Amino acid sequence: MKKLALTAAALALTASPAFAASGPFFSLGNTDFIVLIAFIAFIAVLVYFKVPGLIGGLLDKRADGIKSELEEARALHEDAKDLLASFERKQKEVQDQADRIVATAKSEAAAAAEQADAELEKSIARRLAAAEEQIASAEASAVKEVRDTAVTTAIAVAREVIAKQMTDSQSAALVDSAIEDVKTRLN
C-alpha cells in the first residue's frame, strides 16, 4: 500500500504537464491542482473502504497458501527421501540376499561336483574290479580248459602207448589190481 502511494506521488511529480501549467498551483483554476485533489480523494475513498486492507488480506492469504504449499512440498520431499532411503535399504538387502543365494548355489554346485567325482571314482573302481574278476575268471577258465585238453591228450596218448606195449595178460592183471584197489578204498 505504501509502495502504491509512493509510486502515485512520484508519477504525479514527474508528470511533465504539471510543470507546464500556468498560474498559482493552489487555485481551482489550475487543472493540476484539481487532478491532485481528485487523486487524493480517490486514495481516501480506497482507504475508507479498506481496499488496501482487502488487497493486503488477499496477499496475506496468497502468502499463507504459498507457505502451506511450501510446507506440504517440504513434507512430501521428506517423505520422498524416507521412501528413497527405504527402497535403497531394501535394494541393498535384496542384493545381499542375491549374493548369498549365488554363493550358496556355487558351494552346492562345488559339493555336487565333488560328490559326482567321488561317485565316478567309485564307479570306475567297481568297473575295474569287475574287469579284473572277469580277467581272472577267463584266465582260470583258460587254464582249466588247457589242463583238461592236456589231460585228455595225455590219456589218449597214454592209452595208445599202453595199448601198443601191453599184452593181454598184463592187461588182465592191471584190471584185477584196479578192482582190488577199488574194493579197499570203498571199505
53/109 same-domain check: no
Could you tell me if 88 and 170 lie in one domain? yes
Measured distance CA(31)–CA(25) in Å, rounded: 9
Kindly tell me if the per-residue pLDDT of 164 is higher than 80. Answer: no
| Assigned domain for 27 exists | yes
Whether 187 is covered by a domain: the verdict is no
The residue whose grid cell reads 493552489 is 26
Together in a domain, 90 and 156: yes
Cα–Cα separations (whole angstroms), residue 66 to 59, 70, 71: 10, 6, 9
Q: Which of 19, 42, 39, 22 is nearest to 30 (CA)?
A: 22
Range of the domain at 102: 83-174
pLDDT surpassing 90 at residue 150: no
pLDDT digit string (tens) for 52-70?
Answer: 889 999 999 999 999 999 9
One domain, residues 75 and 113: no
Which backbone phi and psi does 72 adopt, to 5 degrees? -65, -40
52 inside domain: yes
Residues 129-137 have a mean pLDDT of 91
Residues 53 and 77 placed together within one structural domain of the fold: yes
Please provide residue 26's backbone torsions phi and psi, each rounded to the nearest 5 degrees.
Answer: -90, 55
- Give the pLDDT of residue 179: 87
Q: Is there a single domain that holds both residue 94 and residue 78?
A: no
Same domain membership, residue 170 and residue 124? yes
**What is the rounded distance in angstroms from the CA atom of residue 58 to the CA atom of residue 104?**
67
What is the Cα–Cα distance from 82 to 2, expressed in whole angstroms? 45
Q: Which of 18-32, 129-143, 162-176 is predicted least confidently?
A: 18-32
DSSP state, 167?
-
Question: Which domain-ending residue is among 82, 100, 121?
Answer: 82
pTM above 0.75, yes or no: no
Q: Please report which residue ranges of the chain form alpha helices under DSSP H.
A: 2-14, 16-20, 31-48, 51-165, 168-186
pLDDT tens, residue by residue, 13-40: 555 454 555 667 777 778 888 999 999 9
What CA–CA distances, in Å, run from 127 to 115, 123, 152? 18, 6, 36
Residue 3: which pLDDT band, with cuts at 50, 70 and 90?
low
- Alpha-carbon span 156 to 145, nearest angstrom: 16
Residue 151 pLDDT exceeds 60: yes
DSSP E strands, 99-187:
none
pLDDT digits (tens, 9 = 90+) for 62-109: 999 999 999 999 999 999 999 999 999 999 999 999 999 999 999 999
- Residue 102, in any domain of the structure: yes
Tell me: pLDDT of 125 over 60.
Answer: yes
What is the pLDDT at residue 157? 79
Amino acid 155: pLDDT: 81
Query: Is residue 113 assigned to a domain?
Result: yes
Residues 59 and 12 in one domain: yes
Report which DSSP code applies to 30.
-
Q: Across all residues in the chain, what is the average pLDDT? A: 85
